[in-house]
Amino acid sequence: MKDNKKQYQEIKKILEDMRIEILKDINERRLREHTTHDEVGDDYDKASQERERELDIIITAQEKNRLQAIDDALRRIEEGNYGKCEECGEKIPPQRLKALPFATLCVSCKSAKESEEGIFTPFEEIEEEPFEEITEEVASEEEEE
């Protein structure tokens, strides 16, 4: 139990540092947007600036989601239920928490959820037809024409 408390304090520090870094990045983007917004340029410059603003909006939205996940993890640490899978209630392995400190699901539940949602992980194999069968089908279709 004492090891868990020490480990969770280390993870809490990591989460707090991540939170600070994300907030700093968001603020830097906002400052950059305000300074570049009034610049004068040709149509290509304006298009480039608009694309950069769109990317910043996307990145900022992702960062906000990550901030929410970090805040939720910090809350779970304070409440004493950090490190438990929200789906099955089992303990999330420490190596997973170190890699993804705001994880809410164990590996098994996360894989099951991704399968349900149709998300493929790099470890899943995609069932494909053998190359010979595909080429034979194409050849027979061409002969029919």
Residue 116 pLDDT level (bands cut at 50, 70, 90): confident
Using CB atoms within 10 A of its CB, is residue 47 exposed (0-12), middle (13-18) or buried (19+)? Answer: exposed
Could you give the number of structural domains in the chain? 1
CATH code of the domain covering residue 128: 1.20.120.910
pTM tops 0.75:
no
Give the model's pLDDT for residue 135.
Answer: 47
Query: How do residues 77-112 score in pLDDT, each as one tens digit?
Result: 999 889 999 999 999 998 899 889 999 999 999 989
Q: Distance (Å, rounded) from C-alpha 109 to C-alpha 76?
A: 19
Confidence (pLDDT) at 124: 42
Cβ-count burial 89-128 (b if 16+ within 10 Å, e if not):
eeebeeebbeeebbbbbbeebbeeeeeeeeeeeeeeeeee
- 8 A C-beta contact, residue 93 and residue 110: no
pLDDT in tens, 10-48: 999 999 999 999 888 888 877 776 665 555 567 777 777
Can you give the residue range of the structural domain that contains 94?
A: 2-144
What pLDDT score does 51 carry?
Answer: 76
